[in-house]
Amino acid sequence: MQRSWSSRLVGSVEEWSPLESASNLVVGWLEAIRRLPGAGRATDVLHGRWLGHALHPVMVDLPIGFWTSAVYMDLIGYRRSARLLTLAGTLSALGAVATGAADWSVTDGRERRLGLVHGVLNSTATVLNAASLIAPKRYRLLSWAGGALATASAYLGGELVFGRGLMVDHNAWVGGPEGWTAVSKLEDIPNDGTRGAPYKGRTLLLHRSGARVHAMEATCSHAGGPLEEGAVKNEVVTCPWHGSKFRLTDGACMLGPATFPQLRLEARVQKGVVEVRGRKG
DSSP, residue by residue, 72-116: HHHHTT-HHHHHHHHHHHHHHHHHHHHHHHHHHTT--HHHHHHHH
pLDDT digit string, tens, across residues 91-113: 999 999 999 999 998 888 888 99
| For residue 280, pLDDT beyond 60 | no
List the domain boundaries for the chain.
Answer: 5-163, 181-277
What is the model's pLDDT at position 175? 82
| For residue 2, pLDDT beyond 60 | no
pLDDT digit string, tens, across residues 110-156: 889 999 999 999 999 999 999 999 887 888 889 989 989 998 899 99
Q: What percentage of the chain's residues is helix, strand, coil (to nearest 5)?
A: 50, 20, 30
pTM comes to 0.84
| For residue 1, pLDDT beyond 70 | no
What is the model's pLDDT at position 139? 85
User: Kind of pairing, strands 264-270 and 212-217?
Assistant: antiparallel
What is the model's pLDDT at position 265? 92
pLDDT digit string, tens, across residues 220-266: 999 889 999 999 998 999 999 999 999 999 999 999 899 999 999 99
What is the model's pLDDT at position 65? 92
What is the model's pLDDT at position 216? 93
What is the model's pLDDT at position 279? 67
- If DSSP states are collapsed to H, E and C, what string results for 173-214? CCCCCCCCEEEEEHHHCCECCEEEEEECCEEEEEEEECCEEE
What is the model's pLDDT at position 281? 44
If one compares 86 and 278, the residue with the highest pLDDT of the two is 86
CA distance 176 to 168: 19
Q: Domain 181-277 - what CATH class?
A: mainly beta
Task: Please name which of 70, 78, 55 lies closest in space to residue 146, comparing C-alpha atoms.
Answer: 70
Residues 6+ apart with CB under 8 A from 115: 100, 103, 104, 107, 160, 166
pLDDT digit string, tens, across residues 4-59: 777 777 777 777 888 888 988 998 888 888 888 888 889 999 999 999 989 999 99
